[in-house]
Chains A and B, each alone.
Chain A
Amino acid sequence: MTLQGIILIDVLALLFVGFVLLLLRSGWIYAGYAALWIASSVGVALLVSVPSLLAFVTRAVGAIFPVSALTLIAFVLIFLVLILFSVKLTELHERQTELIQALALRALAEREPGSEAERARRSETPGM
Chain B
Amino acid sequence: MTRGALAVIPAYNEAQTIASVLRGLQAAAPDVARLVVTDGSRDGTAAVVTELGERHLELVCNVGYGRAVQAGLRYAMAHGYEVVVTLDGDGQHDPRDVPRVIEALATTGADVVIGSRYMGAHYRGPAERRAGQMAFSLLTRVLLGQRIYDTTSGLKAMRASACRAVLQGRFLDFHTEVLVRLRLLGFRIAEVPIDVQERTAGRSMYSFFRALVYPVKTGLLVITGILDALLRGRAK
- Hey, which bits of chain A sit against chain B, CB under 8 A? 96-97, 100-101, 103-105, 107-108, 112
Contact = CB atoms under 8 A, between A and B. Distances in A.
A97 B75 contact: no
Contacts of B78: 105
B61 A101 contact: no
Interface residues of B, number: 15
B59 A100 contact: yes
A100 B55 contact: no
B213 interface: no
Contacts of B61: 96, 100
Contacts, number: 34
Interface of B: 37, 55-61, 63, 67, 70-71, 74-75, 78
A108 B63 contact: no
5 tightest CB-CB pairs across the interface, nearest first? A104-B57, A101-B71, A97-B63, A104-B59, A100-B59
Contacts of B57: 101, 104-105, 107-108
A97 B74 contact: no
B75 A105 contact: yes
B60 A101 contact: no
Given A101-B57, A101-B70, 16 more contacts: A96-B61, A97-B63, A97-B67, A100-B60, A100-B63, A101-B63, A101-B67, A101-B74, A103-B60, A104-B59, A105-B74, A105-B75, A107-B57, A108-B57, A108-B58, A112-B55
A109 to B, nearest CB: 9
Contacts of B59: 100-101, 104
Contacts of A107: 57-58
